Homo-oligomer: A and B are copies of this chain.
Amino acid sequence: MVNITQFANAKITAFVQLTNIFVKYYYYYLMNLIIVGTVAFDAIETPFGKTDKIIGGAATYISLAASYFTAGAGVVSAVGGDFPREYISLLNDHGVNTDGLEIREKEKSFFWSGRYNADMNSRETLTTELNVIDGFKPVIPGSYQGADLLMLGNLSPDIQISVIEQLTTRPKLIVLDTMNFWIENTPADLKRVISMVDVLTINDSEARELSGEYSLVRAARKIMDMGPEFLIIKKGENGALLFSGSRMFFAAALPLEEVFDPTGAGDSFAGGFIGYIARTGDVSFENMKTAIITGSAMASFCVEKFGTANLVNLSKASIYNRIQQFSELVRFTDIDIT
């Protein structure tokens, strides 16, 4: 027979559990992540085949990858009248808010096409048509204000700055992605936006270019001196490094049987990273490690099929299993040299 104290304890336990579930789901559905970047058309050619114009763009990959971890993401971008409504529905079906996606009926969407070489590590750009992104002035919807997290996908630094300046309260964490084009063409604007953010993500050659240092440890120190508390250096098939102060973490990339199309890998990485931060609400170095592994897992899914084909249809179980593979890949028994 259950006595009074046991009964009271059971009630308290049940209450605590329900509260936890409530907080978890409240947080999950709260609009707490703003994603800025292109929503666009891509046409891709690889040694395995080629696509017509398909949905692409940094904000597309970021928000699809993040959507598996939070229902509180909203996109800021612009598309032309030529952009199929079902592509927008695709984002909405993944729980992504598109209040901040401006549709300019009379203009054309951003379009990029490129061809990958046989090793899949290098590519040439065949076409870049800025179209609606040329002179784009983002407007942040009122419903987005107060978000905890801001993910600035690769775009011109002045657009990225304009977004930060429109926010009425500074997010708890601002993550910036950029690329060599801005390092070379708008260095002053780029340095300004870098000084405004908490996390910068760039690849290894860009880190070297930006810092003038070959050693990534030295490059990281110089770049963090420019402002960001955290720096993520992406090395493609060779993994990613997280730096903060004197701390360092390395996330291996999972060696894959076949890389089918690398397009969007970096953005899927960013999406998995910021999505996991959004889910956990934890911006500590320790939690960022797991977030980077999550990002690496999303990137590994991305490259297995053309464009977003693999990203749109993942199960929680497959994501969990993939992350376990990352965990097992680097696990070893401690040394005994006593």
* Interface residues in chain A, defined as those with a beta carbon under 8 Å from any beta carbon in chain B: 68-69, 118-120, 214-218, 235, 238-239, 241, 248-252, 255-259, 276, 279-280, 286-287, 289-290, 292-294, 316, 319-320, 323, 327, 329-337
Expressed in whole angstroms, the Cα–Cα distance for A252 and B337 within the complex equals 20
Q: Is A238 touching B235 in the complex (CB atoms < 8 A)?
A: yes
Q: Is B276 touching A335 in the complex (CB atoms < 8 A)?
A: yes
26 A-B residue pairs with CB within 8 Å: A118-B214, A120-B214, A216-B255, A217-B256, A217-B257, A218-B257, A218-B258, A235-B238, A239-B252, A248-B329, A249-B330, A249-B332, A250-B255, A250-B329, A252-B252, A279-B337, A280-B336, A286-B333, A289-B332, A290-B335, A292-B332, A293-B332, A316-B337, A320-B335, A323-B335, A327-B334
Minimum Cβ distance to chain B for residue A202 (Å)? 15
Minimum Cβ distance to chain B for residue A245 (Å)? 14
Minimum Cβ distance to chain B for residue A7 (Å)? 28
Can you name the residue of chain B whose Cβ is closest to the Cβ of A219? Answer: B255
Can you name the residue of chain B whose Cβ is closest to the Cβ of A284? Answer: B333
Give the residue of B218, B249, B290, B337 whose beta carbon is less than 8 angstroms from that of A329: B249
Given A68-B337, A289-B333, A293-B332, 20 new contacts (CB under 8 A): A120-B214, A215-B255, A217-B256, A218-B258, A238-B238, A239-B252, A248-B329, A249-B330, A250-B255, A250-B330, A251-B332, A280-B336, A289-B331, A290-B332, A293-B335, A316-B337, A320-B335, A320-B337, A323-B335, A327-B332
Expressed in whole angstroms, the Cα–Cα distance for A167 and B324 within the complex equals 43
Q: Is A290 touching B334 in the complex (CB atoms < 8 A)?
A: yes
Q: Is A248 touching B255 in the complex (CB atoms < 8 A)?
A: yes
CB neighbours (8 Å) of A335 from chain B are 276, 290, 293-294, 320, 323
CB neighbours (8 Å) of A259 from chain B are 215
Give the residue of B69, B214, B250 whose beta carbon is less than 8 angstroms from that of A252: B250
Most buried by B among A217, A259, A316: A217
CB neighbours (8 Å) of A238 from chain B are 235, 238-239
CB neighbours (8 Å) of A323 from chain B are 335
CB neighbours (8 Å) of A235 from chain B are 238
Minimum Cβ distance to chain B for residue A212 (Å)? 12
Expressed in whole angstroms, the Cα–Cα distance for A215 and B287 within the complex equals 31
CB neighbours (8 Å) of A316 from chain B are 337
Expressed in whole angstroms, the Cα–Cα distance for A11 and B250 within the complex equals 48
Known: A214-B120, A255-B216. A319 touches B334 (CB 8 A): no
Give the residue of B69, B119, B215 whose beta carbon is less than 8 angstroms from that of A257: B215
